[in-house]
Amino acid sequence: MRILANDGIDNLGKEMLEKAGFQVDTVHIPQEELISRLPEYDVVTVRSATKIRKDLIDACPNLKIIARGGVGMDNIDVEYARGKGIAVINTPSASSISVAELVFGHFFSGVRFLYDAQRKMATEGESNFAGLKKAYAKGSELRGKTLGVIGFGRIGRETAKIGLSLGMRVVVCDTHPIDTKVTLSFFEGQTLDFEVTQIGFDELLGSADFISLHVPFLGKALIGNEEFAKMKDGAGIVNASRGGVIDEDALLEHLNNGKIAFAGLDVFDNEPTPKTSLLRHPRVSLSPHIGAATNEAQKRVGEELATLIIQELAV
């Protein structure tokens, strides 16, 4: 059995697969060459970069598994593949903590102007230290503020836990029934149970000081002009879900009119070429879709993928 790990796989996962007798190739075959080279393989593992569309699936009659390291499967024609008897698997929980931690990187960056300070210190730090000190003098704390989590699934839950640990009031909303009990785990194995407050979408928009989005992209923006208008003046918002979840033009408008104090963005409408007006905005904290990009998450992804592939082929 030959496995192509086209977007890479952590060493631990690779070793597990090799130990189970598979040949694992970690070369990256460019998208346009896959149609001629993927038919040699029984399994392909991808992250978000490689696209597995109908034409490629048709060209690979021997393909048994398409394995996505991560959550979103928007780069794979999942139902079509399954219709052809190919198993499509993913590792939805492996990166939740990493994404949630990045969300707070953006919140801290936003409330203390770190994104802008970093940029300006590089050019003005020597000539205008006192001026910059003054410019960033009015930061705020997160403690005691209300965090609104929209989408209380795997990542929303981890985000809520960090908010609670920081002393924030956490309100959540979801379109599906949810368990509002969360268990915080501490370093030496101690745990603490908490209850988050579930409220309606509009109520959350109107009461949260900080909003974090953790929903799938369902074809249209969840947060547009109307929703921004319902938010508290000076709210901060972080999007580490999918680009289209926020209407970027509406975001820019509400950043510019002062309604929104800052935004933290890990994902963009038009990846990999996001809008320059967002990239250059002084009140937007930015990262290039790296929510899951930690050693720990990638190790878990590799381990989970290997376990799932081994299980699937053993059936």
Binding site for ligand NAD (CB under 6 A): 70-72, 92, 95, 99, 150-156, 173-176, 214-217, 222, 240-242, 266-267, 289, 291-292
Closest to 67 in 3D by CA, of 303, 276, 269 = 303
Active site residue 37: no
Active site residue 32: no
The nearest distance, CB 256 to ligand NAD, in angstroms, is 25
- Residue with nearest beta carbon to ligand NAD: 153
Sequential DSSP letters for 248-293 = HHHHHHHHHTTSEEEEEES--TTTTS--HHHHT-TTEEE-SS-TT-
d(CA 22, CA 278): 45
The nearest distance, CB 254 to ligand NAD, in angstroms, is 19
Q: CA 303, 304, 305 angle in degrees (round to 5)?
A: 95
The nearest distance, CB 45 to ligand NAD, in angstroms, is 16
Name the active-site residue from 226, 271, 280, 296: 271
**By C-beta, is 175 or 256 nearer to ligand NAD?**
175
**By C-beta, is 38 or 297 nearer to ligand NAD?**
297
Closest to 238 in 3D by CA, of 259, 217, 209, 218 = 209
d(CA 236, CA 208): 9
CB of 88 closer than 8 Å to CB of 109: no
**By C-beta, is 13 or 70 nearer to ligand NAD?**
70
The nearest distance, CB 185 to ligand NAD, in angstroms, is 18
**By C-beta, is 59 or 178 nearer to ligand NAD?**
178
d(CA 210, CA 261): 10
**By C-beta, is 60 or 284 nearer to ligand NAD?**
284
d(CA 192, CA 84): 46
The nearest distance, CB 177 to ligand NAD, in angstroms, is 9
CB of 156 closer than 8 Å to CB of 220: no
Number of neighbours of residue 194 by Cβ within 10 angstroms: 14
List, by residue number, the catalytic residues.
Answer: 242, 271, 289
